């Protein structure tokens, strides 16, 4: 009998340490991850297509037009007055991160929180579906979140119905995960034109770009990418003391390599006496969600650089921790403790 109960306790221990965060998974029915989601008629009806600019669908690989009639950011970095691409106030710096949430987001999140900094995370719906508990940690820490589509597909290559679906499926996952509806949107690869802007505007979103790009995403596939280019670029950017506005930088929290340099990049910005903020706070947006939520500003703590930051070549496109719950204990730790307690109880009963 003792061997039976011992075996059961071991089984419970293994089960509890391998099924992580099941209580945090989304309960709604969602489309397959990382593929363009299906349009929904009720969502499509939210957009009056007769009012959209007549920018053509551009299949992936289509060359840019000689004249940029429809303000295609991915071709000419064209922006409209309604777009965000930098902080308006000199000295402010919007730290923005794309493509999460993943376990690598936790590294970036800890570094931000340790320094009292606030940032903006543009999240992919597929990653929200997989990691809603990490999204909750971002929100609970006072950071801004925005929509970054469901499948990370170039939007100018999609139909209007597909763009609406990319947005609304992601919006639905975010709402279920953290009970918030973002009003900020970033197009994958910055691929947006006036048609995309028109769609997002009718859905209630503000389009966000950036004016300082680390190109850190290249490190995920290019073995020759030197991670020091990330910190090198930040070291070069902070030397610009003549700018009359602030900045907005783009990094990616989804990848192991790129996220490993986020902490050092933060220190470069802070020690150059810039004030990192979320995009909403630095632009004065007091209602970045449909819900009545006010985002806090950064409360910057003193922090010296933790790594040397060699200069990047001018013009160069340049082990994960367990999820931590709101109480500070990881799901692994909680489940491990649960398994041990169950085992001890069974041994006592025998």
Active-site positions read 98, 252
142 touches 295 (CB < 8 A): yes
- Please choose, from the candidates 283, 311, 307, the residue with its C-alpha nearest in 3D space to the C-alpha of residue 297: 283
Three-state DSSP at 177 gives helix
Q: Are strands 144-147 and 120-123 parallel, antiparallel or unpaired?
A: parallel
How big is the chain by its Cα radius of gyration, in Å?
A: 22
Q: What is the dihedral of CA 59, 253, 104, 315, to 10 degrees?
A: 90
79 touches 73 (CB < 8 A): yes
Q: Compute CA distances 256 → 34, 131, 170, 261, 262, whole Å.
A: 19, 16, 23, 9, 10
| Residues contacting residue 209 through CB under 8 Å, at least 6 positions apart | 73, 77, 79, 83, 84, 85, 186, 190, 248
CA-to-CA distance for 259 and 100, rounded, in angstroms?
Answer: 11
Based on the number of CB atoms within 10 Å of its own CB, is 161 exposed (0-12), middle (13-18) or buried (19 or more)? middle
């Amino acid at each position: 009998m003792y061997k039976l109960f011992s075996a059961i306790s071991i089984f419970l221990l293994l089960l509890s340490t391998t099924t992580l965060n099941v209580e945090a998974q989304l309960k709604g029915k969602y489309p397959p991850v990382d593929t363009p989601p299906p349009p929904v008629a009720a969502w499509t009806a939210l957009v009056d297509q007769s009012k959209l600019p007549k920018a053509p669908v551009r299949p992936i690989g289509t060359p840019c037009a000689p004249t940029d009639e429809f303000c295609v950011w991915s071709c000419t970095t064209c922006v409209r007055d309604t777009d965000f691409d930098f902080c308006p106030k000199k000295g402010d710096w919007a730290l923005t991160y794309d493509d999460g949430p993943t376990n690598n987001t936790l590294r970036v999140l800890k570094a931000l929180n340790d320094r009292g900094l606030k940032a903006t995370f543009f999240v992919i719906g597929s990653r929200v579906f997989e990691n809603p508990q990490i999204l909750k940690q971002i929100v609970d820490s006072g950071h801004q979140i925005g929509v970054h589509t469901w499948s990370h597909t170039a939007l100018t290559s999609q139909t209007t119905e597909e763009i609406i679906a990319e947005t609304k499926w992601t919006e639905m996952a975010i709402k279920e995960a953290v009970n918030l509806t973002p009003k900020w949107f970033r197009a994958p690869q910055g691929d947006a034109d006036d048609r995309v802007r028109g769609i997002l505007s009718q859905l209630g979103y503000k389009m966000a770009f950036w004016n300082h790009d680390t190109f850190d995403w290249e490190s995920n596939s290019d073995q020759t990418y030197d991670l020091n280019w990330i910190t090198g670029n930040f070291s070069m950017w902070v030397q610009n003391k003549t700018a009359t506005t602030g900045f907005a930088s783009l990094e990616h929290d989804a990848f192991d390599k790129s996220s490993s340099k986020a902490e050092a990049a933060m220190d470069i910005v802070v020690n150059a006496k810039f004030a990192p903020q979320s995009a909403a706070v630095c632009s004065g947006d007091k209602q970045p969600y449909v819900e009545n939520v006010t985002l806090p500003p950064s409360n910057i703590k003193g922090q010296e650089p933790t790594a040397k930051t060699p200069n990047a070549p001018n013009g160069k496109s340049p082990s994960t921790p367990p999820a931590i719950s709101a109480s500070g204990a990881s799901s692994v730790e909680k489940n491990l403790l649960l398994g041990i307690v169950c085992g001890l109880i069974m041994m006592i009963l025998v």
